[in-house]
Amino acid sequence: MNTKETFIIEGLAGEKKLSGEVRINGAKNAALKAMTAAVLFDGQTTLENMPDTDDIHTMVEILKKLGATVEWGSAGEAGRERKALLIDASKIGSAHINAELAKTMRASVVLTGPMLARFHKVTFPAPGGCVIGARPIDLFTEGYKKMGAAVSLNDADCLYNMAAPGHLKGTEIFFEKISVGATETLMMAAVLADGKTTLKNCAMEPEIGNVAEWLNSCGAHIAGIGTPILEIEGTGGRLLSPQKPFVTIPDRIEAGSFLILGALCAKDLVIKDCRPDHLESVISALKDSGVPISVAMGAHGDGKNGEIRITGNTKPNSSFKAFNVRTQEYPGFPTDLQAPMVAYLTQATGESSVLETIFEGRFKYVGDLSNMGADIDSINPREILVKGPTPLRRSSDDKGLSAHDIRAGFAVVLAALTGKGRFKISNIHLIDRGYEKLEERLKALGADIERKNSASS
Ligand code: UD1
């Protein structure tokens, strides 16, 4: 990770000059969870179609620091090999998840479930230090308590100590809030527990099902996959057997990001190796707005190796109609595409209300878009009003642009590509957390984008 690197982008000034094909990588949000699930196995697991992004490398380091063996390999058909990870958790000798690494990536909290289930104890840094309420993990800790674990927060080092002498016990948990992380973590914890666990009001994101189906193919008993109620019959401590590799599903957020980018910047674009059925809310909104999109579900009609195509996208972006966005749990509109979609809406004609219902503080990038000429009003901390179309250009005070998080980072890349002039984007290490070699893939489509060390740009 190099925090000094920047992207330099020459904007297309609204012209749709990009074209070509882009292949979608494995879903970061499934791959990270499968890496934590490797802790539940007796012996070495193989995880295929792994994205090579910084968050995956952070999880590799966290697992290694606990004592696990982690090696990179490759798997897949000849000529279409994808990265694989081989993980063996049998030598884990520490219960302390590295606090410095864990603080850089919230998803590391998911590891507490498998650790508690197999090794019966784990420590984890309180998100946001000891400040209660900041980025809460209450759904996790309350769930563990219901399963018989003791959870305490040590004020001296701000670490949660979690311990479950003996096995975790099956129980019934109703999540008061729908949470992707809590659903998959309690599900994994329940896999090795004594007795049956019923989880209610679960998240239904496809990444959870991807991991659950793999666990079932290796000896777990999870019923209700893809529904709000999961029933898990615990193995009573018997570890899973690594009979089958985990194959990561295509990253729907990466596919959606390229789709929005294609709508604004490409005449023709083929998004390959994706699951169009995982992106229906986004495809439907863009189609209704006027983007010429077609989908093919893949050879077996099951969505695997599907394609999304933009064809003959020659009308000006101002011909696209504005629409309202309300982020929701799956299958609703994904919060991770809220920022890229706002970049799109600045170019469409009309007014759009954008309501963020999942996370607070997800509009930090709006200042950058406004500096570029976007007309965006903040209604309240969770809602903005976008009025389009507005040409985007380099700001007169030339402050430059910044990636505020993975997805907001993509949104400013998209705004710069659409805009007029030469743009510099800093903090791109945050984009690297979720998008593999973004500049190389955009260059292959015809974009003028360079990665530079800020000292030399
Ligand atoms: C995951 C995804 C993230 C995506 C999000 C929602 C990963 C690595 N990240 O994040 O990209 O944006 O789902 O689709 O998979 N909450 C609590 N208490 C808890 C846990 C969560 O109040 O103990 C709240 C959160 O603050 C948030 C909401 O629940 O407001 C939903 O968050 P959650 O679904 O848990 O998101 P993540 O799993 O962190």
Question: 112 in helix, strand or coil?
Answer: helix
Mean pLDDT of 101-112: 94
> Residues 341-385: pLDDT tens digits?
999 999 999 999 999 999 988 999 999 999 999 999 999 999 999
Q: How far apart are CA 368 and CA 351, in angstroms?
A: 19
pTM beyond 0.85: the answer is: yes
Region for residue 94 given its phi and psi (left: phi exceeds 0; alpha: psi -120 to 50; beta: otherwise): beta
CB-count burial class (<10 Å; 0-12, 13-18, 19+) for 301 = exposed
From ligand 1's centre to the CA of 180, what distance in Å? Answer: 6
Query: Between the CA of residue 338 and those of 281, 363, 383, what are the distances in Å?
Result: 12, 9, 11
Q: Which atom of ligand 1 is nearest to the CA of 205?
A: 14
Token readout for 450 is 């360079």
Q: Are 346 and 369 in contact (CB under 8 A)?
A: yes
Q: Which of the four pLDDT bands, split at 50, 70 and 90, describes residue 4?
A: confident
CA 107 to ligand 1 centroid distance, Å: 9
The confidence score (pLDDT) of residue 457 equals: 42
Instruction: Return all residues near 15 (Cβ < 8 A) that are at least 6 apart.
Output: none
Domains 5-25+250-456 and 28-247 share a fold: yes
The preferred substitution site among 177, 254, 282 for testing ligand 1, maximizing ligand atoms within 8 Å of CB, is 177
177 lines ligand 1 (CB under 6 A): yes
Domain 28-247 classification at class level: alpha beta
Q: Is the CB of residue 180 below 6 angstroms from any atom belonging to ligand 1?
A: yes
SS3 266: strand
In percent, the amount of the chain with pLDDT more than 70 equals: 95
> Which CATH fold would you assign to the domain 5-25+250-456?
UDP-n-acetylglucosamine1-carboxyvinyl-transferase; Chain (3.65.10)
Asked if 39 contacts 114 with a C-beta cutoff of 8 angstroms, the reply is: yes
Q: Going by CA atoms, what residue is nearest to atom 7 of ligand 1?
A: 29
Domain ranges of the chain: 5-25+250-456, 28-247
pLDDT in tens, 254-274: 999 999 999 999 999 999 999
Helix 28-37 to helix 112-119 angle (10° resolution) is: 10
Summarize pLDDT for 405-435 with one digit per residue, the tens.
999 999 999 999 999 999 999 999 999 999 9
DSSP 279-324: -HHHHHHHHHHT--EEEE--TTSSSTTEEEEE----S-GGGSBP--
Q: Give me the active site residues, please.
A: 130
